[in-house]
Structure 1
Amino acid sequence: MQLRCPSTVNVTLFEGWELFTLIIDNSIQVRYFLAINRHNGNETNPSVNFSSSTTPLAKISAFKNVKSIVNSYGRVVADGGYYPAYTASTTVSNTLFVIFNTSVGNGIFFPDLFNYTKGYHTDPVVGVFSQMNNKYMYSDKDQNSSEMGVTLYRAGASQLLVLEPVTNTPPSVTLTSPADNQTLTEGSPYKIEGSAADPDVGNVVTAKYKINNGRIKALQSGVSNGSAPISFVLNMTFRDKRIWDGEVDIYDADLAENVDHTLAVWAEDDQGGRSGEVTRKFRVVWNRPPVIGGENKDLGSFMQPPVVNYSATDPEGNTFTFSEYLNGKQIRSGVAGQQYTVEISHDTWIRLDLDVQHQIKIVTKDSAGISSERVYTFTRTETYIEFMLDYGNPDIKADFMLDGMPLRVLVTLERYLPEGSSIESVKVYNNYLDTVPTWEDCTGAVKGNRGYLFINKTKTALNWAINLWVTIDKGTARERVLVNGYGGAFD
C-alpha cells in the first residue's frame, strides 16, 4: 500500500498490515509510507485511519507469487528532482523491481518510465498524485537511475521494492502398481502403489488419482523434506461390476466390459505445481463361465469302466447346471453341486468298441448362458472275452430251465480266433439254480465240436437249469477276437 500524509497525522493500518518503509520530508512536513500484508487471497477491503482531518493519498497494489522482499530503496526528491536518483541492485535472479513515485502539484502527471510496465497513474487529488511501475529483471540484477528515472519539476518521494518470486519445481510421481493392461474379474484386487516427490522443502504434496473421468480422490499427503519420497498405497477390489475401496464405490458407475478403462495418478503441491499423469489401462469381465476342475486329458486304456470324479464352481456364485456326455450322447444332467462322478453303466460299457478312443465330455452352463467344458478320452481294451447266460432275462430262463435232468449238452461258438488267441475255458452247469451250482469243464468238447455228457446227477433247486460260462483269451493276437454268437443243443 502506497501512502502519503502530513507528518503531524498519525496513521493506523488495517489489521494484518505493517509499515515497511518510511520516508519523511521535513522541509514540507510530509511522510511517505509503504505498508505490506501477506494474505491468502481472501482479503477484505482494508482501511486506513488518520488521527486528524487530512487529504491523504493511499493506493494498493497486489503481487502474486512473492517469496520475499530482498531489497528496498527510498529518497525524498526536491523541487525539480529526478525520480529516483539512486542505483538499485540485488544478488537474486528473476526479481521484480517495483517503483512507487509520489509528488504534489495541480495538473501534474508523471511521465511513463522507459522499459517499465505501468501499474497505475493516479489523477491528482488536491495536488497529490502517484504512479507505480514494475519490471521483471530476468537475469539482470541492477538498475541505475537513468534506467529507472524520470524528471519532474515537483517535490515528492521515490521508493523501490525488489521482490523475489516463489520458484517452485513441480512434484513427480512414480507408480509401481498396478501393472498395465490388467483384466479384472469378480473379486480381483487392484492395488495402487507408488510415491510422490518434491525437491522444494516445505511444500505440501498430495498424490491423487481418478478412474476415467470420475471423481478425483487423494491417495496420500505429506510435507516434503526435499529428498524423501512420500509413499502411498491403496488396495481396491473389483466386484459387482465396480471398483471398491472397502465399501466405498470409487467410480459410482458400472465399468463396461470389453473396453479400456484408465487409471490416472499424479501429484500436486500447495504452490500450484503439478506432475504429469501416470496412467494404466485395464479391462473388466462381469461374468465368467463355471470352472471345471482339472484339465482335458487322455485317461488311458481300461478293461473296466473308468470312474471320473470332478468338481465345478461358478466364480461369480451364479447357479449353473451340468451335463455329461459319452461319445456325444448325454448320459446325465442336473443342477450344480460341488463334487460329481461320471459313471458308465455295465450295459453301456460292453457296447463300446474295443481299441478305439472314446470321449467323456462335461458341460456346465450358468444362469447367464455362459458355458465351459472338460473333455476326457479313454480306450476300452480287453485281454479276454467272458460271458454267461443272463437268467434275469425271462426268455433265457424260459428256454434253459428244465423239468427233467439234462444228460448232455452241445455248445457251439460262432467265433474268429486270430493267431495267438484261444478258447481258455467253457464251463457248463445243469443245476444252475442251486445255491452252489456244480460247474463242469467242457472246453475240449467245444474245441472238438463234440457234445458233452454231464457228470452231475443232483440238484437242490426245484428245477434243473443249464448255463454256460465262456472265456476266450486274446493272448498275443494283434487282430480283434470276435464272438458273433453261440448255439447248441441239450437233452
Structure 2
Amino acid sequence: MAQALSTLAVGALVKDTGTLYNGKPIIWKIADKNHAGYPANSVTLITERIISLKCFDAIEAGSSDSNRRSYGNNRWIYSNIRQWLNSQAAAGKWYSAQHSADAAPTNANVWSNYNEYDAEAGFLAGFSANFLAALLNTTHTVGKASVDGGGTETCVDKIFFMSSTEAGLTGDVTCGSKLALFTNDASRQAKPTAECVSKSEYTNSSFNVNSAWYYWLCDAYASNSSDVRGVNSSGALNWNYAYGGSGGARPLCNLKSEILVSDNPDSDGAYTIIWNRAPSAPGSISVPAQILSGQNVAVTWGISTDEDGSVSGYILERKTNDGSWGQVYKGINRTYTDTASATWQTVAYRVKAYDNNGAESAYTTSPARAVTHNTPPTISGANTNLGEKTGAFSQAYTVTDQDSGQTLTVTEKIDGTVKRTYTATSGKEYSFSLTAAEWVKLANGSHTLTITADDGTGGTADRTYTFSKNVSEIEFQLATPLATDDAVTKAIMSVARQIPAGAEFTVEACNNGNDASPTWEDVTQAVNSGSKFFFSNTTKTAAEWGFNFRIKVKRNEAVGDCFISSVGGNFE
C-alpha cells in the first residue's frame, strides 16, 4: 500500500532509491508543507545532511569589484552553486558563464584549492527520471548585497538553498517566511554524509559524520560583495567568503503533495517514494456514424492499461456545437448511452482513464458527428400480450410519421421470421393477419408478432404482440357434404400431415352425410395404407345422399410439429 507524501509529518525522512549523489540515494527531510509563496499543494524537502562541500562561487579574476576578484560573487542568481544544483549535464559540462566576469569553480579559483567541482556532473544528473519530472519550479526570494542595489530579488529554481528568513534566522533582509522545520538552533544543525566526508579534500578534526558542520544559505551579506550568509555548526547565523570550498551544500526542492510514499520507513528511517505511472489512453472510442435527435447515442471505448495495475475507471466528456467539453460519465464501465438533444448540431466525445492514485491518461477523441433532426415514426397501440388464441386472427395497427416526404417501410415478422415487407402510407390502418395455413404450422407455446417501421433516415419504431397457442386436439369435417346421385360404395383418401409419434390420428367417412346423424365409418387404416375403403351403410333418412369425412388428431404427450395441410381423394 501507499500514502500521500503530504500525510507525513514535518521532519519525516523521504528518499527515492533511484535518485543518487555520490552513488547513494539522497535522503531528504520534510521542511514544510504547502509553504507560503511556494507552489500550491506542495511539500518542501531539504537534504537531511550536508551532501557535499563546495564553494558558493569562484574567484572572478576579471571583476571590477576587488572583493569578487579575491573571494567570489555573493549574488545567488550568478552563483556557480545555483547553476550546478540545477544542471543535468554530464561531467565537466554543466558550467557556462553567467556574466562577463564569471569564472568556473576550478582548482585555482577556490579557497586553498579545496573541493573544486567544475569537472563534476550536474547535481541533477544523478536524479531518476521520475524525480526530475516531479520537481516543481519554485519562485523564492533572496537577499542582495548593497553593491547590487541591496534589498531582495526573486528567482525560479527547481533546486535551491533556503534564505536566512526561511531558516528562522534574522538576516540582513526578510526573504520569504520561516519553514516549519526550523524552530531553534538545534533544528538547524546538520551533519555531513559519510560520502561527503570521504570525498572532501578539506580535512579538519571537527569535520566528521557525527558532528554538525556549517552550510550555505542563498542570501548575500548585504554590506559586502563577496560574503554569503550561512548556518554555522551551532545552528546560528554566520557568513563566509563565497569562494570558500569548505562550505556545505544542503539543497531544497518542492514536490507535489499527492506523490506516494511507502506506508513504513526503511532501514534508513526514510519513507520510500513510489512513483505512480499514469494509465495509457483508451485504445479507441466508437460513436454511431448517424445520430438522430431524441434518440439514444451508444458510445463505447477501448481498454486502458496501467503499468502499476491500478486503472480505476474512465471519464467520458462530450462537446456539442462549438461549446466546451463537459463530463457526462465517470466509472468503470466502457459503454455509455447518451440521448441526442434537438439543440445539438454536432457532437463529439472524448474519454480518458484514471487510476486509484489520481493519475490520468491522455484523451482518446471521437470525430465530430452531425446530428440529424428527424422524428421517428410511431405505431399505434402498445406492446401487448394478446393471451391465448385458438385459431387464425388479425391484429390492426396504424403507422404514422410526422416528417413529410419520407418513405415508410414496414416489416412484419412471426417469431423473428419475415412474413411481409411493404411501403406504408402514414396514418392508414393495416392488419397483421395470421392465416389458417400459418396457424396450423405454429407449435404450441408462446409466439411473437413484430412490426417494425423505418422512415429511411434512421428513425424506427417497433411494436410487439405476444400470444400463446395451446391446441391438443384437431377435429374438422366438410361443412357441406359432397352431393352424390346415389350412395357412395367405395372411396380413397390422402391426408397431407405432420403427426408426431405418440399422437392419435383418426379418419372417418360417411355416404349419408346429409342425415341428421350420419353413419360414420372408421377408414384410418385405409388412409394410412393408401388403400380403397368400402362403405357398409346402405340407408339414409335425408332426401339426398352425400359424401363427407371428418379427421381427428389428439396430441397426447407427443412433442414436435403437428398439423394437417391438405385432404384429397375420389369416390364412386
- Alignment TM class, shorter chain as reference: 0.3 to 0.5
User: Under a length normalisation based on structure 2, what TM-score does the superposition of the two structures give?
Assistant: 0.32
TM-score in terms of structure 1 length? 0.35
Bigger relative contact order (CA 8 A; separation at least 6): 2
Greater fraction strand: 1
**Structure whose CA Rg is larger:** 1
- Which structure: greater helix fraction? 2
